[in-house]
Structure 1
Amino acid sequence: MELRQIQYFICLFEEGTVTGAARRVNVVQPALSAQIVKLEEELGQKLFVRSARGMEPTEAGRRMYQLYLPILRDLAHAREQMTLRSGEVGGQVVVGMISSLAESVLSEALTDFAQAYPKVHVTVTNGALLDWVAAGKIDAAIVDKPRRPFSLSVEPIIDEELVLVGPDDDRVPDVLPLAAVAALPLLFTPREHNLREILEDYARQENLVFKPVSEIYSMTALLNLVEDAGFYAILPRTVVRRHARRASLRVRTIESPAMVRQIICVTHPRRPLNTASALFVEVLRRHIRGLPDGTAWPQDAGRNG
């Protein structure tokens, strides 16, 4: 098995067509196809099947992608590091980040990092972040701590308050218990959203049932509907802060119990961060902890969860 064959395989898997993969690696299509055939013969397994949509990976192809993508990324990083002069930091960084935090801190964090480390190329993405860290597709992810068990390494960053946002009127007090919040006409994110998991977990602990009027995935769209239709929503304070100047909205404190989301950094336990990734995560951590209204974790908090 040659490195070239692995590179061709990765490109074909990601592009889905021989045409797209060949263009990406700058070779003619027959040459790429021939190397894929050789790879399949060596492994004794079909890696792709042709369909109307292009080249569909088989189960063996999907398994090979999961195994070899991290290796290929490590090789690329090693090559980049060898070309740098002593003391320089370069290479690729791929980090995932939940959108509510990205909208708050990412612009300033990227600016600071680019000024300090101009030879590092940074990609920040969103999606199935825990799965992508586990599969080696991204270096690390900044996420809400899930309620379900998982096997990745965890570094706590901050506890962020969840607040009630709604119409600016005096019928609802500025501080109210969660039981009173549950009786209001609420907008929620869908059940697959991490924030919804957090809210439902609090409700179970208090023997409450939330009955949302509607469910919207985007927190920004949800907040817009709160303002336009007079509903209420429980949101992280960083999300609400971006819209704090809207005179028609009022932010209220929830107590009994107070509600927080735990922001964590997750990495693979067997794949330590390279220098560039560790430096970028540290910049993100510093900017997140610099947000007002967040309560930092104790310094001796556990690292695994």
Structure 2
Amino acid sequence: MELKQVQYFIALFEEGTVTRAAKRLNIAQPALSMQIAKLETEIRQKLFERGPHGMAPTEAARLMYRLYTPIMRDIDHAREHLSRRDVIVTGRVSLGMVSSEAQSVLPESLARFDALFPQVEVSVADGFSAQLIDAVESGRLDAAIINKPRGRLTLDVEPLLVEEMVLVTSAAHGPDLPDAIDLTAPSGIEFVLPTRRNGLRGALDAALMAADVVIQPKFEIDLLSTIVQFVEQSSIATILPRVVVQAKVDQGLLRARTIAVPPIVRHIIQVTHPKRPIGPAASALIAIITEEIRRVTTGAPAE
């Protein structure tokens, strides 16, 4: 998914017709329609229905609009600050991240951020979602990127993205499985999963429970890097977000299969304290991290 496609989608959602959206974007109507069609193919969802009064958004489009509009606003805000040569952003950003994201995209994100904000100091802590929520509430962190918990939060919450979770096996030692997995069908697969302290396990269990599926893992491990190494060297399978395993999939060491039934996703959110709003540097760092996650999982180039 490219940033340009998201911009086109938002314009069509807000304008309601291809004609007005193309005029707003200063592009040809066929170019807009083509990008929307590519986006629908990529996410495997219909976003608009053509009607007598224009393009009517589907429920999937409404969800996408709610998720992506804040991200685009943050990116535009960061670019605005960067374009003002008289403004030098300084200070310190203290951010928390769940380890699955920190291990996967943090080095590249920090390198990009440092090139844009060289005078900003950054401190990043990783941990479980519950620990990071406590740190934001107590003021030890400015913000945190976490798995959406089941319960209500007293913090300000901003959706960042919805991420696919995939079934992962070793390319060399894993079982022979179809490209699309139905977890409701008996398979004999043995699993290693994160423990129930991990927010990833909460997202997984919720999806399985809703589909009346029970998975009893043979192993439970909290260190995601250890899970990945274990799966790579054995016939054991796991279920993890694509961002965690994509690098080894690209290297040919792991295989990642789509879970068709039931589809399993985890919701990544940003939490901040309602009395301590974050500044432009923190917003820009979170936007960069979000874009890096999307780049890794879709193969789209960074903007």
What's the TM-score, normalizing by structure 2?
Answer: 0.64
Q: Aligned AA for 1:198?
A: A
| Percent identity of paired positions between Structure 1 and Structure 2 | 38
Give the whole-Å Cα distance in 1 for the aligned partners of 2:140 and 2:270.
Answer: 15
Alignment-derived partner of residue 8 in structure 2: none
What is the aligned partner in structure 1 of residue 245 from structure 2?
240
Deviations 1:120-142 (A, max 9, x none): 11001113111111111100011
The structure 1 residue matched to 2:201, chosen from 180, 196, 199, is: 196
Q: Give the partner amino acid of 2:120.
A: V
* 1:290 partnered with 2:288: no
Structure 1: unaligned runs, 5 residues or longer: 1-84, 296-305
Q: Indicate conservation of the 8 Å contact 1:161/1:294, yes or no.
A: no
Note if contact 1:158-1:294 (Cα within 8 Å) is conserved in structure 2: no
Q: Give the partner amino acid of 1:212.
A: P
Superposition pairs of residues 222-237 of structure 1, within 5 angstroms: 222-237=227-242
| Structure 2 counterpart of 1:270, from 255, 259, 275 | 275
| 2:156 maps to 1:150 | no
Q: Of the candidates 138, 142, 150, which is equivalent to residue 139 of structure 1?
A: 142
* 1:53 aligned residue: none
Say whether the 8 Å CA contact 1:182–1:210 is kept in structure 2: no
Q: 1:180 to 1:227 in 2, by over 3 A?
A: farther
Task: Quote the residue 2:113 is aligned against.
Answer: 113
| Cα distance per residue 1:91-124 (max 9 Å; x no partner) | 1110011122122221122112212222111001
Alpha-carbon displacement from aligned partner over 1:129-156 (angstroms, at most 9, x marks no partner) = 1111111110001111112222221111
Structure 1 residues 288 and 251 mapped into 2: Cα distance closer, same or farther (>3 Å)? closer
* Secondary structure of the structure 2 residue equivalent to 1:244: helix
1:62-81 aligned at under 5 Å gives the runs none
CA distance, structure 2, for counterparts of residue 275 and residue 160 of structure 1: 25
- Give 1 or 2 for the bigger CA radius of gyration: 1
Q: SS of the counterpart of 1:212?
A: coil
Figure out how many residues of one structure are paired with residues of the other and give that number. 211
What's the CA shift string for 1:16-57, capped at 9, x where partnerless? xxxxxxxxxxxxxxxxxxxxxxxxxxxxxxxxxxxxxxxxxx
How big is the alpha-carbon RMSD for the aligned residues of Structure 1 and Structure 2?
2.4
Following superposition, the deviation at residue 259 of structure 1 comes to 1.1
Kindly provide the amino acid, as one letter, of the partner of residue 100 in structure 2: S
Aligned to 1:130: 133
Rounded Cα–Cα distance in structure 2 between residues aligned with 1:237 and 1:108: 17
Taking structure 1 as reference, are residues 268 and 206 closer, same or farther at Cα in structure 2, changes over 3 Å only?
same
User: Residue in 1 aligned with 2:211?
Assistant: 206
Unaligned 5+ runs, structure 2: 1-84
- Is the Cα contact below 8 Å between 2:175 and 2:235 reproduced in 1? no
Structure 2: how far apart are the matches of 1:218 and 1:235?
12
CA contact (8 A) 2:133 2:144 kept: yes
Q: What per-residue deviation string (whole Å, max 9, x for no partner) do you get for residues 151-194 of structure 1?
A: 22111111111110114466422212122378521111011001
